[in-house]
Amino acid sequence: MNIEAIDKRNIWHPFTPLVGGLEPLLVKSAQGIYLELKDGRKIIDAVSSWWVNLHGHSNPVITQAIAEQAKKLEHVIFAGFTHEPAILLSENLRSILPENQSKIFFSDNGSTAVEVALKMAIQFWHNQEIKTKTKIIALEGAYHGDTFGSMSVGERGAFNNAFAPYLFDVEFIPFPDGENSSEVLTRFEQITSGGNAGIFIYEPLVQGAAGMRIYSPEILDQLISIAKQNQVVCIADEVFTGFGRTGKLFASDYLSHQPDIVCVSKGITGGFLPLGVTSCSEKIIEAFTSAEVSKTFYHGHSYTANPLACAAANASFELLTSNECQQNIERISRQHSDFVLKNKKHAAIKSVKSLGTILSIELKTPGNSSYFSELREKIYPYFLERNILLRPLGNVIYILPPYVIGDTELTQVYTAIEEFLHQLTEK
């Protein structure tokens, strides 16, 4: 039996129908921005492999850091013990996270970072014996992960219909699309001023899974300001937007109001190992600062603060904060902006936007934009045939390459997109 057949027999892949989907491609190795397949093809990873890779695949600096760490300490229980890679990472993160963030709590991935944030915020009210602030507010279209808490604060639909009866109640406000600002603000003011709003969670400036929907810092700043006036805990889910994706280190850096809690994951290790972090401000910590058993935060995972993942994250931090990387982020951001200017009037495009290293192109469709748009079936294979990995969200094509992508490869991706757009409008 060949190795692909064994995969088919044994493995259940994520977000993949068991019938009718494309067969997975076997990746033998990956270097820089290229995935190298069993058949020798080299594919440009234009989406940074589920939005995690920052400095290129098999980056030698991160590889070395993991190897060195593995020789010293691979893992240790994180209750009752601590270790240098985690301590160093806490300092590194605190030096770049919004200034008010004072403590770092480790977990394993984006969903758990969100789950921890929700539990922290709920227990923040509980520990103060405030029983009224039970309402949780999120944005329509939100995606915060696949565990029960993170699903509950996400848009309800095909991804989570089966679980609907088990998800807790959340008040969703309309997505600020640039034209409905007063409606969004009025609705938010109504909900938060009622006295029972306790938590507001949002993906700052861009909703990734909803179709790379970019919205303005001004409105988000106003929402956070209203939330703060009404003593609502604000959770910034920076799982996708963190570590330079939006052009600044965090999307929250575009805002004047700081969140109480921040969730990060994805790019934190440069895309090498799973790691989640939830940070919080002194205000949150104060509610837990007690020797009482009932006020302790009883949450943890076996691999919490895994030393190899922390070592990878520290190496990735050094690369990210280097001049070279920051210049690359600026370069990609500029080129994305040029692409937007050049193509914004294209007949096949409904809207094209960029924010930092994220470029998002919403294609016109007869119906509404949707993850299940049939254009997806055309787009994905079209680009794969041209050796480009680009995983559309329905009728939304987006790219967010590793920051090490060179101008030649970036142009290759833009050209392929322009050719695709052209053949869409050709009769």
Ligand X SMILES: Cc1ncc(COP(=O)(O)O)c(C=O)c1O
Work out the number of other CB atoms within 10 angstroms of the CB of residue 171.
Answer: 15
Q: Which is nearer to ligand X, 92 or 107 (CB)?
A: 107
170 sits in which H/E element: none
Shortest approach of ligand X to residue 125 CB, angstroms?
Answer: 23
Q: Which is nearer to ligand X, 209 or 226 (CB)?
A: 209
Q: Which is nearer to ligand X, 151 or 226 (CB)?
A: 151
Query: Which of 104, 114, 312, 388 lies at the binding interface for ligand X (CB under 6 A)?
Result: 114
**What secondary structure letter does DSSP report for 210?**
T
Count of residues in contact with ligand X, rule CB under 6 A: 14
Q: What sign does the CA torsion over 4, 10, 15, 20 have?
A: positive
- In the window 188-217, what residues touch ligand X (CB under 6 A)? 203, 208-209
171-173, strands of its sheet edge to edge: 101-107, 276-281, 261-264, 233-237, 197-202, 135-139, 171-173
Q: Which is nearer to ligand X, 208 or 307 (CB)?
A: 208
Shortest approach of ligand X to residue 209 CB, angstroms?
Answer: 5
Percent of the chain as helix, strand, coil, to the nearest 5: 40, 20, 40
- Both structure tokens of 272: 């090498």
Q: Interface mask (CB under 6 A) for ligand X, residues 368-397, using x and -? A: ------------------------------
Q: Which is nearer to ligand X, 117 or 410 (CB)?
A: 117
- Give buried/exposed letters for 343-363 (b at 16+ CB in 10 A, else e): beebeebebbbbbbbbbbbbb
Shortest approach of ligand X to residue 17 CB, angstroms?
Answer: 19
3-state secondary structure 231-260: CCEEEEECCCCCCCCCCCCCHHHHCCCCCC
Q: Interface mask (CB under 6 A) for ligand X, residues 127-156, using x and -? A: ----------------xxx-----------
Q: Which is nearer to ligand X, 144 or 213 (CB)?
A: 144
Residue 34, classified by CB atoms within 10 Å of its CB into exposed (0-12), middle (13-18) or buried (19+), is buried
The answer to whether 362 and 340 have CB atoms below 8 angstroms apart is no
Closest chain position to ligand X (CB): 110
Q: Which is nearer to ligand X, 240 or 414 (CB)?
A: 240
Shortest approach of ligand X to residue 114 CB, angstroms?
Answer: 5
Q: Interface mask (CB under 6 A) for ligand X, residues 240-269, using x and -? A: x------------------------x----
Residue whose tokens read 């949450």: 299
Query: Which of 92, 101, 109, 333 lies at the binding interface for ligand X (CB under 6 A)?
Result: 109
Cα 21 to the center of its chain, rounded Å: 25
- Give buried/exposed letters for 200-229 (b at 16+ CB in 10 A, else e): bbbbbbbbbbbbbbbbebebbebbbebbbe
Q: Which is nearer to ligand X, 258 or 265 (CB)?
A: 265
Q: Which is nearer to ligand X, 56 or 145 (CB)?
A: 145
Q: Which is nearer to ligand X, 46 or 209 (CB)?
A: 209
The answer to whether 34 and 19 have CB atoms below 8 angstroms apart is no
Shortest approach of ligand X to residue 237 CB, angstroms?
Answer: 5
- Cα dist from 290 to 81, 122, 127, 413, whole Å: 20, 17, 10, 54
Of 59-67, 216-224, 232-240, 302-310, which segment contacts ligand X by CB under 6 A? Answer: 232-240
Of 2-10, 130-138, 235-243, 307-315, which segment contacts ligand X by CB under 6 A? Answer: 235-243
Shortest approach of ligand X to residue 263 CB, angstroms?
Answer: 7
Work out the number of other CB atoms within 10 angstroms of the CB of residue 163.
Answer: 13
Shortest approach of ligand X to residue 146 CB, angstroms?
Answer: 6
Shortest approach of ligand X to residue 359 CB, angstroms?
Answer: 17
Shortest approach of ligand X to residue 192 CB, angstroms?
Answer: 22
Q: Does 239 bind ligand X (CB under 6 A)?
A: yes
Integer Cα distance of 298 and 24 in angstroms: 39
Of 18-26, 236-244, 247-255, 339-347, which segment contacts ligand X by CB under 6 A? Answer: 236-244
- Both structure tokens of 322: 């280097």
* Contact residues: ligand X, CB under 6 A: 109-111, 114, 143-145, 203, 208-209, 237, 239-240, 265
